Copies of this chain bind each other. A is one copy, B any other.
């Protein structure tokens, strides 16, 4: 009796590996978790205390989201005046609302290869026909993109330009402009997912792809990476017409998002310590990143290659030996108490790119990064011997 699209979605390999990876003695480069030490609890403390005097934040409230929060987000994240916002339960719900409101079964949605698994599942659930565009060293392959738009009626292009998941790549400005231009030319709507946007190591931010095609784009913002994922607060930015459809759908889906957390987030964004907090997160992740790549180069310079990143939470690593199958490698690593995610899980059919891996550096401690790379190197030696 279960919905067939739902039935046909395979359980997430990442969720499964994460359930193993939470064991205490396991070192994990697998998930996409922020560092729990980075949660700005000290900055939120006062608001939590205030809350118990504010019954109005425990009542039913607006589906669009808390007015004060929307205003604060608008200011802090430079949302243009003619754009509308809706608060969602993390940007995952934003994706789901977009798919449910605008994707009909059979609609063609173009996604990057590799891409964020959670988005692919949302699109599959909506019955979309998924097409893929390969990511080159700088981002999506423009020639292939043009070709694809020419040959097929693509409705949406789902793209993660800032420190992409899983590759960590940040697309250059000229590529962003070109993508927007092609989408405009071929009438393709853009879903621009940008959860890592604030995580540039130096705080640098390029223009969004959507800035060059605002009337044809929907942007997903997240607070999971710079504040806390447990709060489940994200937001979707688009034209008022599109946002109004999402509001109508969200009202039916769950009335509105958690109000006390919206209040806490509003106060945090308005807090004079918020900018320093984000800088500290960036510095923390930069330190971890440098240690990770330093250790990898020390231990495995001849075995692996990867492109340096300028921010985010991940690096995308390939073995020089094309015979190494990272799905097998990941299983072997588990026996060394190390969790990594094989690259193939980020591809639609799971079969491409058998010798790549995604490594997360935001969650493990510095000590565990060092130890983890050591286990990683040991797994490489074992793997090479056995196979």
**Residues on A close to B: CB < 8 A?**
1-3, 6, 9, 11-12, 15, 31, 33-34, 36-37, 39, 41-42, 44-45, 48-49, 51-53, 55-61, 88-90, 92-93, 96, 100-102, 104, 118, 121-122, 125, 155, 224, 228-232, 245, 248-249, 251-261
Contacts and interface: CB of A to CB of B under 8 A. Distances in A.
Contacts of A52: 41-42, 44-45, 48
A232 B258 contact: yes
B245 A2 contact: yes
A41 B12 contact: no
Contact of A258 (B53, B255, B261): B261
B48 A229 contact: no
Interface class of chain A by DSSP: helix
Given A92-B254, A231-B260, A232-B258, 17 more contacts: A1-B155, A3-B101, A3-B104, A6-B249, A6-B252, A45-B52, A48-B49, A48-B51, A58-B231, A59-B228, A60-B224, A96-B253, A118-B252, A125-B252, A232-B259, A258-B258, A260-B260
A184 to B, nearest CB: 16
Identical copies in the complex: 2
The 4 closest A-B pairs by CB, nearest first: A230-B259, A58-B228, A93-B254, A45-B52
B230 A258 contact: yes
B90 A255 contact: yes
Contact of A251 (B15, B56, B229): B15
